[in-house]
Amino acid sequence: MLPPPAGSVAQDVARALAEDVGDGDVTAALLPDVADSAYLLCKEAAVVCGRPWFDATHRALDPNVRIDWRVTEGQRVAAGTVLATLQGRARALVTAERTSLNFMQTLSATATVTAAYVDAVRGTNAKILDTRKTLPGLRQAQKYAVRVGGGVNHRIGLFDAVMLKENHVRAAGSLTAAIRAARAMHPALPLIVEVESIAQLEEALREGCDRILIDDFDATMRREAVRIAHALPIDRRIPLEVSGGVDMDTVRAIARDGVDCISIGGLTKHVRAIDLSLKLGPPPA
């Protein structure tokens, strides 16, 4: 699993602290600036994710804080699990509380949902992919959380892969023309082609690309697309991706049809924060 870019973590934390602390935490200033302890409690079952951001937040305010993790990144935990204990300055612990929890709650949510989808397709050949439907400013963080949950990253942005859709086909005059233009302009980049019919699928297979997105195909069309794609020799086979209309009720049936990838915007777009709290004092015995 690729770790998060260190620079991205630092930038996320700096931006979040500037947003929350501003010129200074006027409430934490009421506390005595003495050594204290705290513990991080998970109140529901979850996949733990976000430790780099949690650590960086606290160390930005107290470089000498000690953080002892009791769980690993990506570990599945039960409700009531103490995830970590901290030793540091009371004011810094309180000031860092909300920002560090925001990162942990959001990223653990994405990792937890991703893991549920990965579990749902286990035993098939399908991989669970994310999309660009991320929270603004947190794309690298949420893409990392998808990896922690066992998913696979789609393109990071608009710069690292070419993705042809209906607008490109319309502008080029045909799918074949759009594919050839993309190959000519960006020969080194992966090429993903969205098709809207079996005829377009066959056209994309003839021209060649790195992945074919069969968007909004019904089950009959999807199975026919798999049959056609898998009829090619292995060295010419192009992975098929499904997007749209995917939820926990449909994902396994889609995977069992034989597609290679299932991309789900809800991994990052429809997150519900995991219930965590940071409490001063020692953890309960």
User: 3: Cβ–Cβ under 8 A, 6 or more apart, which residues?
Assistant: 52, 144
Q: Which residues are catalytic?
A: 98, 133, 165, 194, 215
Q: Is 83 buried (19+), middle (13-18) or exposed (0-12) by CB count in 10 A?
A: buried
> Do 86 and 67 contact (CB within 8 A), yes or no?
yes
Q: How far apart are CA 248 and CA 258, in angstroms?
A: 17
Between the CA of residue 96 and those of 13, 53, 56, 75, 135, what are the distances in Å? 10, 11, 10, 23, 21
Q: How far apart are CA 115 and CA 66, in angstroms?
A: 30
According to DSSP, the β-strands at 81-89 and 127-129 are: unpaired
